[in-house]
């Protein structure tokens, strides 16, 4: 089955700087790669996703890149703000078959003022 | 308002008790899931369902059971709770791959 590895487990950046979180996946059949943000005490919420037919997607200050050959995908947050502090989870699934979403281990991002 | 609802939000019980965590969604989604998560930690899939009368075990072994008699309802039951079951349980439904999570049920077994 699918296995998703996420790094780093914790990340601390200065407000205004950029943050990058990286994930690798194992199943070449995976074609859907979402990122979820979970603030303290809240439920995880989708912030951006990418499908395998594109290499990059951007939404304001966040962007996701995908390298299908290397089975890597990354989340990029620019001009970080205090409200970006949260735990971020990457995930991967195939839209065929069981369609189970497999999550990475999570990255705790702290934005320092 | 279309959402996914979980009750109870918090539960403290003694060892050996039977508990049911309720999950209901008003979005008409066929696919529903239960995840177990210690605060801020990895999300582990313990059960999923692709529709009425369909249930499967997830990647993390769990002593809980689930049922799916109605599309909107996906309850999780622990027949005999133990301290090792202390955790947060998140219910979710999905549409076109996107997961919509409930607010979670935080279970403490003494």
| A87 Cβ under 8 Å from any chain B Cβ | yes
Cβ contacts of B38 within 8 Å, gap of 6 or more: B87, B88
Q: Which residue of B has its CA nearest to A109?
A: B40
> Which of B99, B102, B103 is the closest to A101 by Cβ?
B99
pLDDT per residue, tens digit, chain B (110 aa), is 779 999 999 999 999 999 999 999 999 999 999 999 998 899 999 999 999 999 999 888 788 999 999 999 999 999 999 999 999 999 999 988 889 999 999 999 99
Q: Do residue B104 and residue A32 have CB atoms under 8 angstroms apart?
A: no
Tens digit of each residue's pLDDT (9 = 90 or more) over A37-91: 999 999 999 999 999 888 999 999 999 999 999 999 999 999 999 999 999 999 9
Closest residue to B97, CB basis, from A32, A45, A103: A32
| Tokens encoding A55 | 């290499």
Cα separation, B89 vs B51, whole angstroms: 20
Give the C-alpha separation, A62 to A74, whole Å: 11
- Closest approach of chain A CAs to the CA of B102, in angstroms? 7
Query: Chain B closest CA to A102's CA: distance in Å?
Result: 8
The helix/strand count (H/E) of chain B reads as: 0, 11
Chain B contact for A99 (CB, 8 A cutoff): yes
Q: How far apart are CA A7 and CA A53, in angstroms?
A: 24
How far A43 CA lies from chain B's nearest CA (Å)?
A: 5
């Amino acid at each position: 089955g699918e296995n998703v590895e996420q790094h780093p487990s914790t990340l601390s950046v200065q407000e205004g700087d950029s943050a990058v979180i990286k994930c690798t996946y194992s199943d070449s059949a995976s074609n859907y790669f979402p990122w979820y943000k979970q603030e303290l005490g809240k439920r995880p919420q989708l912030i951006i996703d990418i499908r395998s037919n594109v290499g990059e997607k951007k939404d304001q200050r966040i962007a996701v890149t995908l390298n299908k050959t290397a089975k890597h995908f990354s989340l990029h947050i620019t001009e970080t703000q205090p409200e970006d502090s949260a735990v971020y989870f990457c995930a991967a699934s195939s839209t065929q078959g069981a369609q189970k979403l497999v999550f990475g281990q999570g990255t705790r991002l702290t934005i320092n003022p | 308002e279309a959402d996914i609802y979980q009750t109870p939000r918090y539960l403290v019980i003694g060892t050996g008790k039977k508990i049911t965590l309720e999950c209901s969604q008003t979005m008409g989604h066929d696919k529903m899931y239960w995840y177990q998560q210690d605060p801020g930690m990895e999300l582990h899939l313990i059960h999923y369902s692709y529709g009425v009368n369909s249930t499967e075990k997830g990647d993390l072994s769990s002593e809980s059971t689930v049922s799916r008699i109605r599309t909107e309802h996906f309850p999780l039951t622990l027949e005999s709770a133990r301290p090792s079951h202390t955790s947060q349980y998140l219910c979710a439904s999905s549409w076109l791959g996107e997961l919509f999570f409930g607010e979670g049920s935080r279970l403490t077994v003494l």
